[in-house]
Amino acid sequence: MCGIAGIIGENATEAELQIMLKKQAHRGPDHTGSYFDKGFAAIGHNRLSIIDLSAAANEPFQDNSGRYYLTFNGEIYNYKELKEELKDFYDFRTASDTEVLLASFLKWGKECLHKFRGMFAFGIWDSEKKELFAARDRFGVKPFYYTREEKSFYFSSEIKALQHLRGRDQPNEKVWANYFSYGSYGMPDETFFQQINQLPGGHLLHFSAGELQIEKWYDFEAEVGRIPADYSFEEAKEVYFDLLKESISLRFRADVPVGFNISGGVDSSLLLALVNQFEDKKNINAYTFYTGDERYDELPWVEQMIANTGNPLTKVKFSAEEAKSKASVLSKSQDEPFGGIPTLAYSKIFEQAQKDGIKVLLDGQGMDEQWAGYDYYFQQQSIEQNIQGVGNNSPFRRNALSPSFAAQAEKPEYPQPFDNPLKNMQYRDLFYTKIPRALRFNDRISMAYGVELREPFLDHKLVEFAFAMPADFKINNGIGKYMLRELLKPLVPAEISYAPKRRLQTPQREWLANELSGFTEEQLHNLKNSPVANWFDFEEIEKEWERYKEGDNESSFHIWQWVNASLVVSH
């Protein structure tokens, strides 16, 4: 896990590259490196050392010929297997996955991407042809932002590294309007800022002689289509379980201490159970957060699980008072709107892990999308629904937007490449809504504290297989994630394997109206005096806020949106 940055074009200067690297220095506290090809390119890297901690693996990494320079963020988990495959082709001088990535590119060109099991965003500069090749992993676990200025191309791991350029700090009003009107965080190539784009997950790009070409390299639909449709339930369960164990085993490859995050849900309970299938992993540390509010805390379920496995457990308490300072800190690290109080509480886990010297954490992101765990999947709600736990009530308050700003909103339309609504909803959540936003939140949180976050349940082999399974393997008698629960049943107490999905892990609704009411009102005041005040009808906001305090709080999403906007635009 690291930060990447680069400037391609005749205006590339090392001084400007250093500005970019400094902006995202938190991503790589162990080393900062740069390569300068005068008149053509400046390539930089912030390193967080995870595999091969030696200086020989620092980046930008140069191949043996001296022609290619790599800046890489992420992990190639199957690097040992690939290294064995490449040993007669390339003379390796490090034990890093970085060198394996570069050697793979030299051997197979862009086809190397299909061989990788991992999370990655990288750029490779060809100093002979004067061209850049870059790519992002299948689901976009690792970020890749870019912008154009005249004939130059700039790329980085975080938006803030590009905002010193003229106009790059100006909001993209259409994306913001869609956020307030439909809960959209933008399409896969968009950001909340003008002229700054992101390379979508599963895409690659070439930049040469001032020309940019972007190409989709991962065909999810085709991969799903190759999976046989005639598995029995028991056969599918066995295949998936083997894939799960393999995925977790691969993600324990590190030369630094590894821990994992756990909640009381099915997903992280399964992660805990499988972690302890590996004999040498039984003493790794588990982390969880709680707030002291028994209506929301999952601590009783977590402690019940831990009692079975004996793993050391670090319990991190998060208070309403802490939310104020955390909100300010995270708004700076996120650059864009982010999840509410649960995201703030989650960040405290990474802060504690950093203090404990843990540099890698695993978590359970991705199971709800592949095994249909959200309520709207099985309550026959509209394909437009994408927010868990609000039923048919709208979480948005379009009445609080000014007419001219609201007119810029355009209802997002997502592809529906499959022949049934359930798979199309899952596809939308994997590539357009749930997973992209969660991965962005989590990347910035973990990197703010110099900790690498790994997502074993987002291994592409797992996702493809689960997605391809019949609907009754996913939802059975109104219960989502059915096969997953059946897998978990012999490993944990029954009340955990069939526990319902809980809506929230924090009292966000109550805190915003009570303990954090002063903070909320302060942010609404700041919004009214901000450069984007003309987006809103503050009389309507005031009415909504009064209604909310009086108990109309089935959804707190609209309140958090306004607070969030105030925090983001103030930076």
Q: pLDDT tens, 266-313?
A: 888 888 888 887 656 667 889 999 999 988 888 888 888 888 788 899
- Per residue, the 3-state secondary structure of 344-366, as one string, reads HHHHHHHHHHHHHCCCEEECCCC
Comparing 62-71, 374-383, 461-470, the range with the smallest average pLDDT is: 374-383
Residues 334, 78: Cα–Cα separation, whole Å: 30
342-to-48, 180, 497 alpha-carbon distances in Å:
26, 20, 23
Query: Which pLDDT belongs to residue 25?
Result: 96
Indicate the domain borders of the chain: 2-218, 233-382+436-504, 509-569
205-230 average pLDDT score? 96
362 CB burial (10 A radius; 0-12, 13-18, 19+): buried
pLDDT at 495 over 50: yes
Q: Which two tokens stand for residue 61?
A: 């990494």
Q: Which of 532, 531, 526, 529 is nearest to 563 (CA)?
A: 526
Q: Which two tokens stand for residue 354?
A: 């950093």
What's the whole-model pTM score?
Answer: 0.95
Residues 571, 568: Cα–Cα separation, whole Å: 6
Both ends of the chain: CA-CA distance in Å? 25
Greater pLDDT, 494 or 142 = 142
The residue with tokens 């059975």 is 476
pLDDT at 164 over 70: yes
The rounded mean pLDDT for the chain is 92
Q: Tell me: the pLDDT tens digits for 415-426?
A: 999 999 999 999
Query: Which pLDDT belongs to residue 298?
Result: 87
Options 2, 313, 361, 362, the catalytic residue: 2
- Please enumerate in sequence order all residues whose Cβ is within 8 A of that of 280, keeping only pairs 6 or more positions apart, or say none: none
pLDDT at 502 over 70: no
Q: What is the DSSP letter of 458?
A: G
Q: What percent of the chain is modeled with pLDDT above 90?
A: 77
Q: Which two tokens stand for residue 49?
A: 């050392």
Amino acid in position 474: K
Query: Which pLDDT belongs to residue 266?
Result: 83
40 contacts 13 by C-beta, under 8 angstroms = no
Helix axes 341-356, 320-334, angle to 10 degrees: 80
79-108 average pLDDT score? 97
DSSP secondary structure, 239-253, as one string: HHHHHHHHHHHHTT-
Q: Tell me: the pLDDT tens digits for 172-186?
A: 999 999 999 999 999
pLDDT at 346 over 50: yes
Query: Which pLDDT belongs to residue 257?
Result: 87
Amino acid in position 152: S
DSSP secondary structure, 379-434, as one string: TT--TT--STT-TTS----GGGB-HHHHTT---------SSSHHHHHHHHHHHTSH
Query: Which pLDDT belongs to residue 465?
Result: 98
- Greatest pairwise CA separation for the chain in angstroms: 71
Q: Tell me: the pLDDT tens digits for 3-24?
A: 999 999 988 999 999 999 999 9
Secondary structure (3-state) at 154: strand
Secondary structure (3-state) at 185: coil
Catalytic-residue membership of 2: yes
For strands 313-317 and 286-290, give the pairing: parallel
Residues 224, 331: Cα–Cα separation, whole Å: 37
How many CA atoms within 13 Å lie on the side-chain side of 493? Answer: 15
518-522 average pLDDT score? 96
pLDDT at 408 over 50: yes
Q: Tell me: the pLDDT tens digits for 32-45?
A: 999 999 999 999 99
Greater pLDDT, 465 or 271 = 465
Q: Which two tokens stand for residue 442?
A: 């989590």
pLDDT at 89 over 80: yes
pLDDT at 494 over 70: no
Comparing 99-113, 387-401, 430-444, 499-513, the range with the smallest average pLDDT is: 387-401
Residue 288's beta-bridge partner residues? Answer: 315
Amino acid in position 300: P
511-to-80, 330, 470, 507 alpha-carbon distances in Å:
48, 18, 41, 6
Sheet holding 360-362, edge to edge: 313-317, 286-290, 258-261, 360-362, 452-454
306-to-257, 302, 493 alpha-carbon distances in Å:
19, 6, 11
Residues 440, 206: Cα–Cα separation, whole Å: 24
Residues 512, 1: Cα–Cα separation, whole Å: 34
Residues 263, 502: Cα–Cα separation, whole Å: 11
For strands 211-216 and 68-76, give the pairing: unpaired
Residues 69, 450: Cα–Cα separation, whole Å: 24
280 is in an annotated binding site: no
pLDDT at 327 over 60: yes
Comparing 112-116, 253-257, 506-510, the range with the smallest average pLDDT is: 253-257
Comparing 393-407, 453-467, 477-491, the range with the smallest average pLDDT is: 477-491
279 CB burial (10 A radius; 0-12, 13-18, 19+): exposed
CATH code of domain 233-382+436-504: 3.40.50.620
CA torsion angle for 530, 532, 538, 543 (degrees, to 10)?
Answer: -100
Instruction: Tell me, yes or no, if the two domains 2-218 and 233-382+436-504 fold the same way.
Output: no
pLDDT at 367 over 80: yes
Greater pLDDT, 279 or 100 = 100
pLDDT at 516 over 60: yes
Query: Which pLDDT belongs to residue 389?
Result: 46
120 contacts 104 by C-beta, under 8 angstroms = no
Please state the CATH superfamily assignment of the domain spanning residues 2-218 in this structure: Aminohydrolase, N-terminal nucleophile (Ntn) domain (3.60.20.10)
Query: Which pLDDT belongs to residue 434?
Result: 95
Greater pLDDT, 159 or 256 = 159
- Please enumerate in sequence order all residues whose Cβ is within 8 A of that of 357, keeping only pairs 6 or more positions apart, or say none: 257
pLDDT at 391 over 90: no
